[in-house]
Structure 1
Amino acid sequence: MDFELTEEQRLLREFSRAMLTAACPPALVRAVADAGTDGDDALWQKAVELGWPSLAVAEDAGGAGQGVIELCLVAEEVGRAAAPGPFAESALVAAAAAGGGAPDDVVAGLLEGKHKGAVVDAAAPDLIHAAGSADWLLVLGADVRLAPAPATKRRTTIDLSRGWYAATGPLDGRVLDLDPHRWRDAMTVLTAADALGAGERLLEMTVAYTTVREQFGRPIGSFQAVKHKAADMLITLQGVRAATYRAAMAIDAGAPDASLWASVAKAHAAEGVSEVAGTALQLHGGIGFTWEHDLHLFLRRAKVDEAIWGNASSHHRRVAALLRQAG
């Protein structure tokens, strides 16, 4: 299996990173958090201009005809910027609506970015990302349903880069002709990709800090123990990246072991990025414990990514069960 990105995929990552670097600094993330909203309208419009909402919609339905790999590239960059807004989720909802037989006007609104979508784990309707600003919810349970956004109540979590909600109204909607396992796997892998992006940013911040922070007249990054910890962070993230994109490729290919790889990716991301976050906090020392330091935007986001769409333990159990079935 070829893990190299195509030229088109590299450009998608490059343009997405450039846009988020320019349009989504930590100050914007904090401003959105202070306002208690789900995102920034100007940032959403820039995402629309890049074609994110229609990225995974089939070409014959007016989209770009890409897959979960490309959505992961977007999700990774969104996590790397701690960007507020349901970017990858809304694109996934648009793809499901287009592929599952939703009305044309609903599909058009989602792929054009005029409407926003959020994804709901039917087993956990009390923790939905960006449901307060969503027009449509993709409800993943025993089947796949496209539901109008119900009444919601905003939740308080440690992740202040995103808005989280509990549904207080019914999640009834149109049943789409889709395999619920595939779409749950896709959302699981997108969560792993978001965590991967947050982990990459934590590593970058840690390396930058240890380069300038001095102890005993030398940058602490020159000490062997610190170098080893930074190297361990990098190795862990490379493993998370390999597992995440291996899973995305399996889903796009319709491989019979796609669910297995999705759980491998999420378990590895949940454990690995959490470990990276802990090391980043340790190497930042006392300053890392202050909310005023931007480290917390990414550390807190990574910790919530660890818990949603199945924690490491649940995915380890799922991997074991799938291996027993295959054997």
Structure 2
Amino acid sequence: MDFELSEEQQMLREVSRSMLASTCPPALVRTTSEAGADLDEKLWQKGAELGWASLAVPEEEGGAGQGLVELCLVAEELGRAAAPGPFIETALVAAVAARGGAPGEIVAALAEGTAVASVVDDPSIVHAGGTAAHLLVLTAGDAPAARLAGVNGGRRRTTLDLSRGWWAVEPVDGIDLDVDPAWCRAAMTVLTAADALGVGERLLAMTVAYTSVREQFGRPIGSFQAVKHKAAEMLMTLKGVRAATYRAAMSLDAHTADAELWASVAKAHASAGIAELAGTALQLHGGIGFTWEHDLHLFLRRAKVDEAIWGGASHHHARVADLLPAT
């Protein structure tokens, strides 16, 4: 597989990163959290203007006709900024709804970003459940199904994550979609790994910046060999998570037989690797990293929630063992 980004993919990444850098500073993340909001209206509008919501919607339905790789690029940048709002969930639901036979007006509203959506694996913990108008409900077991449902109220949950709102919700009514729920679940798993990857990239950048100016014994601590080794290990972790995540996204786009296997490989690696990387970042920041005033904790908290949702490392290690072909 070719892991090199195309010119269009590079442009998507650059434009997304630039917009988030200018409009989603940590101060906005804090303000949105303090207001108890699931998203910031101005930031949501900016994302809609960039076409995030319609990115994976087929061209014949008015979308850009892109795939999961492109959604991962956006998810990575959202994680890097700890951006609030279910941008990725809405984009995935728009794409699935368009392919699964949902009414055209619902697909159009989702693709335009005028309707908010989320994805439900466990109704007790749903991202932006208090704002979502539509829920993609995924069920497994003997009768796996994907259903586009409404929301009958909900209760905001208290979690470690200050950058996103998490809810317990009650999905109601809805229509069955002609899509593979296992593919949808694997897609959300990979998109969560991509978000964690972006968080890890931001944590490494913050750590390198801090250790370059924090002095001890008259020298920046970043010049000490032990600190250099820690930073190098963080970078190696990110490279591994990136390779696994985009390998999985490409497999899901191609609908290969081993796509679910690679999705679990990506999430297991991201859950374990980014959690360890976050601990290293905290260690290298020292006492300042524990303070409420420092922005480090916004990313630490998001990393810990990304570690747990859509299956943790142990769950996906077991999935890998189950999905590996017998030899």
TM bucket, shorter chain: over 0.9
User: 1:185 offset after TM fit, Å?
Assistant: 0.5
User: 1:203 offset after TM fit, Å?
Assistant: 0.2
Aligned partner of residue 152 in structure 2, secondary structure: coil
User: 1:149 offset after TM fit, Å?
Assistant: 2.2
1:229 matched residue in structure 2: 230
Distance in structure 2 (CA, Å) of the matches to 1:107 and 1:89 = 14
Distance in structure 1 (CA, Å) of the matches to 2:52 and 2:67 = 12
2:37 matched residue in structure 1: 37
Length, aligned pairs only: 323
The superposition leaves residues 93-136 of structure 1 with CA deviations (integer Å, 9 ceiling, x where unpaired) of 00011000000110010001110110110xx2100000111110
Distance in structure 2 (CA, Å) of the matches to 1:134 and 1:93 = 11
What amino acid sits opposite 1:130 in the alignment?
A: A
Distance in structure 2 (CA, Å) of the matches to 1:171 and 1:323 = 37
2:274 matched residue in structure 1: 273
**Equivalences for 1:133-152 in 2 at 5 Å?**
133-141=131-139, 142-152=144-154
What amino acid sits opposite 1:31 in the alignment?
A: T
User: 1:291 offset after TM fit, Å?
Assistant: 1.7
Is the 8 Å Cα contact of residues 139 and 171 (structure 1) preserved in structure 2? no
Match status 1:76 vs 2:76: yes
Distance in structure 2 (CA, Å) of the matches to 1:4 and 1:321 = 30
User: 1:298 offset after TM fit, Å?
Assistant: 0.5
2:123 matched residue in structure 1: 125
What amino acid sits opposite 2:163 in the alignment?
A: S
Distance in structure 2 (CA, Å) of the matches to 1:65 and 1:222 = 47
User: 1:91 offset after TM fit, Å?
Assistant: 0.1
Match status 1:160 vs 2:199: no
User: 1:158 offset after TM fit, Å?
Assistant: 0.6
Aligned partner of residue 275 in structure 2, secondary structure: helix
Distance in structure 2 (CA, Å) of the matches to 1:171 and 1:276 = 40
User: 1:171 offset after TM fit, Å?
Assistant: 4.0
**Equivalences for 1:211-250 in 2 at 5 Å?**
211-250=212-251
What amino acid sits opposite 2:166 in the alignment?
A: W
Match status 1:15 vs 2:25: no
Distance in structure 2 (CA, Å) of the matches to 1:64 and 1:179 = 21
2:98 matched residue in structure 1: 98
User: 1:72 offset after TM fit, Å?
Assistant: 0.2
User: 1:150 offset after TM fit, Å?
Assistant: 2.5
The superposition leaves residues 132-191 of structure 1 with CA deviations (integer Å, 9 ceiling, x where unpaired) of 111100011121010012211000001010000001x34442110001111100000000
Is the 8 Å Cα contact of residues 222 and 228 (structure 2) preserved in structure 1? yes
Distance in structure 1 (CA, Å) of the matches to 2:172 and 2:25 = 35
Aligned partner of residue 53 in structure 1, secondary structure: coil
What amino acid sits opposite 2:133 in the alignment?
A: D
Distance in structure 1 (CA, Å) of the matches to 2:215 and 2:71 = 40
What amino acid sits opposite 1:45 in the alignment?
A: Q
Structure 1 runs (4+) deviating above 6 angstroms are: none
2:174 matched residue in structure 1: 173
The superposition leaves residues 201-245 of structure 1 with CA deviations (integer Å, 9 ceiling, x where unpaired) of 000000000000000000000000000000000000000000000
Distance in structure 1 (CA, Å) of the matches to 2:79 and 2:70 = 14
Aligned partner of residue 268 in structure 1, secondary structure: helix
Distance in structure 2 (CA, Å) of the matches to 1:195 and 1:286 = 24
What amino acid sits opposite 1:165 in the alignment?
A: W
Is the 8 Å Cα contact of residues 58 and 95 (structure 1) preserved in structure 2? yes
What amino acid sits opposite 1:138 in the alignment?
A: L
Q: TM-score, normalised by structure 1?
A: 0.98
Q: TM-score, normalised by structure 2?
A: 0.98
What amino acid sits opposite 2:316 in the alignment?
A: H
User: 1:257 offset after TM fit, Å?
Assistant: 0.2
What amino acid sits opposite 1:150 in the alignment?
A: N
What amino acid sits opposite 2:318 in the alignment?
A: R
Structure 2: runs of 5 or more not aligned: none
What amino acid sits opposite 2:131 in the alignment?
A: S
2:311 matched residue in structure 1: 310
User: 1:292 offset after TM fit, Å?
Assistant: 1.3
Q: Percent identity?
A: 72
- Compared with structure 1, are the counterparts of its residues 137 and 62 closer, same or farther at alpha carbon in structure 2 (3 Å cutoff)? same
Aligned partner of residue 131 in structure 1, secondary structure: coil
What amino acid sits opposite 2:18 in the alignment?
A: A
Distance in structure 1 (CA, Å) of the matches to 2:17 and 2:171 = 37
Aligned partner of residue 77 in structure 1, secondary structure: helix
1:48 matched residue in structure 2: 48
What amino acid sits opposite 1:210 in the alignment?
A: T
CA RMSD of aligned residues (A): 0.8
Aligned partner of residue 133 in structure 1, secondary structure: coil
2:299 matched residue in structure 1: 298
